[in-house]
């Protein structure tokens, strides 16, 4: 158990393989000087307080923090502006809510992410605790769109959705009426849509930074493979039942659904892969005949991390918990004048994988499953079932 975990931690520590690239961008300093440069694109999940840049590929990288730059951006990807704003950091966790529906503002200097830029602008601020949106029009400076949860009683929660009234008041347009914002949610997708609609209504040229860079966030992959499985069993009372079925080569067939998480340069994903597998073997010894016929649908669910090598190649590691749904689960042990028939226990297990992906289309993976006890529900019995597999993948979309 320790060795696979250490191996996974070692692989995850190989930052040199993670293609966090320097991409064409710019920054504007406090003297309004614009510098064309290459900016390290971290695809920030939380709004940054600093960024790293190079003047060219050969240059040594440097860092600039929020006190030194008024604005920075990566062309066709993202843009951040420094602003001193009033922000409400009220939490949404039930145990931390108060009974006051009014926001509690604090003045802070932040890098706001630009989502929509036109006649009406939409900005986002996000960290691990909160997500807040801000807007600006020709007549209104940058202001937070207000949405706050609060307690009505110990068991009832209310929500201050002032942001809907703010939008209705500030974004006057024939295409935006009370019905279009009545059920508007305080989300990036919903707010971006309404601000884009307003700019279109005003015949204003605008940039939607959420659509300037297409991200494929879902992949479906056919994954056949070859697996090597080994199985042995022991009985603590009747040692005559002990059997070693050895290693068997078999085939497996899976279909993997991969959901790419939309941050940190798409390096993290959630994966689920329904897979058919089978193991059938016999063991003959003096006075003992043993058989096992075991097939199941495996359902490994876990996380994947990518390490980009270049624009077409990347390696990845997986860590998954595997649910097992048995189809056939019979095992028999026959000693002279004695017999024991068992049902294989469909217990879960842990798997680790290391793989390579080419052009987001073709992949191969080496996967190892940690030892599982298929007889765990029988007190006298213990068993050891292990698998390793070589898996090939073809991504449909």
3-class SS of residue 312: coil
pLDDT of residue 339: 62
Distance CA 245, CA 334 (A): 14
16-75: CATH, from 2.60.40, 1.10.287, 2.30.29, 2.30.30:
2.30.30
Using a CB cutoff of 8 Å and minimum separation of 24, what contacts does 194-199 make?
Answer: 194/167, 195/115, 195/116, 195/118, 195/120, 195/121, 195/122, 195/135, 195/171, 196/116, 197/173, 198/119, 198/120, 198/171, 198/173, 199/116, 199/118, 199/119, 199/120
Q: Where are the beta strands (DSSP E) in 30-90?
A: 34-40, 50-54, 62-65, 69-74, 78-88
The token duo for 158 is 């209310």
Per-domain boundaries in the chain = 16-75, 78-213, 218-395
User: Residue 192: how many CB atoms within 10 A of its CB?
Assistant: 19
pLDDT at residue 16, as a whole number? 40
Dump pLDDT digits (tens) for 227-277: 999 988 888 887 777 888 888 898 999 999 999 887 777 789 999 999 998
Cα–Cα distance for residue pair 274/34, rounded to 1 Å: 52
Task: Please say whether the beta carbons of 104 and 88 come within 8 A.
Answer: yes
Its pTM stands at 0.65
Report the chain (397 residues): mean pLDDT per 10 consecutive residues.
48 47 93 95 90 92 96 93 96 85 95 96 92 95 96 89 94 86 91 94 89 71 94 82 85 93 82 91 78 87 90 90 83 61 78 94 94 83 90 93
Q: Which residues contact 233 (CB under 8 A, 6 or more apart)?
A: 241, 242, 243, 245, 290, 331, 333, 375, 381, 382, 383, 384
80 burial type by CB count under 10 A (0-12 exposed, 13-18 middle, 19+ buried): buried
Burial status of residue 171 (CB atoms within 10 A of its CB: 0-12, 13-18, 19 or more)? buried
pLDDT at 76: 85
Largest CA distance in the chain: 94
3-class state of residue 376 by DSSP: coil
SS3 state of residue 9: helix
Total residue length of the chain: 397
Record: fold of 218-395: Porin (2.40.160)
Token pair in block for residue 102 = 């009014």
Q: What is the pLDDT of residue 240?
A: 74
Sort 292 into a burial class: Cβ within 10 Å, 0-12 / 13-18 / 19+. buried
Sign of CA dihedral 245, 246, 249, 254: positive
Q: What is the DSSP string of 149-172?
A: EEESSSS-EEEE-HHHHHHHHH--
């Amino acid at each position: 158990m320790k060795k696979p975990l250490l191996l996974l931690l070692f692989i995850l520590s190989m930052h040199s393989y993670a293609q966090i690239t320097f991409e064409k961008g710019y920054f504007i300093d406090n003297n309004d000087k614009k510098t064309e440069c290459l900016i390290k694109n971290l695809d920030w999940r939380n709004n940054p307080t600093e960024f790293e840049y190079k003047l060219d590929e050969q240059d040594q990288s440097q860092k600039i923090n929020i006190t030194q730059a008024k604005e920075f951006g990566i062309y066709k990807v993202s843009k951040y502006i420094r602003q001193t704003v009033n922000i409400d950091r009220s939490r949404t966790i039930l145990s931390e809510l108060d009974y006051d529906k009014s926001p509690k503002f604090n003045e802070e200097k932040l890098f706001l992410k630009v989502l929509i830029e036109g006649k009406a602008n939409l900005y986002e601020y996000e960290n691990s605790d909160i997500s807040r949106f801000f807007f600006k029009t020709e007549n209104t400076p940058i202001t937070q769109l207000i949405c706050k949860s609060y307690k009505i009683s110990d068991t009832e929660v209310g929500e201050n959705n002032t942001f809907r009234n703010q939008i209705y008041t500030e974004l006057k347009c024939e295409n935006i009426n009370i019905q279009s914002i009545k059920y508007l949610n305080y989300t990036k997708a919903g707010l971006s849509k309404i601000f884009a609609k307003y700019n279109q209504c005003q015949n204003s040229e605008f940039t939607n930074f959420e659509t300037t860079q297409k991200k494929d966030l879902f992949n479906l992959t056919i994954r056949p493979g070859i697996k090597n499985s080994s199985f042995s069993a022991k009985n603590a009372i009747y040692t005559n039942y002990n059997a070693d079925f050895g290693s068997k080569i078999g085939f497996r067939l899976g279909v993997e659904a991969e959901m790419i998480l939309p941050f940190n340069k798409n390096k993290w994903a959630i994966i689920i892969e329904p897979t058919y597998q089978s193991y059938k073997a016999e063991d003959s010894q003096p006075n003992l005949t043993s058989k096992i016929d075991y097939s199941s649908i495996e359902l490994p669910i876990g996380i994947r991390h990518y390490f980009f090598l270049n624009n077409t190649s990347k390696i990845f590691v997986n860590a998954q918990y595997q649910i097992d749904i048995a189809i056939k689960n019979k095992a028999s042990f026959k000693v002279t004048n004695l017999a024991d028939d068992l049902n294989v226990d469909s217990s879960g297990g842990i798997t680790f994988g290391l793989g390579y992906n080419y052009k987001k289309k073709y992949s191969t993976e080496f996967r190892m499953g940690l030892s599982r006890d298929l007889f765990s529900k029988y007190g006298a019995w213990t068993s050891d079932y292990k698998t390793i597999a070589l898996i090939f993948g073809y991504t449909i979309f």
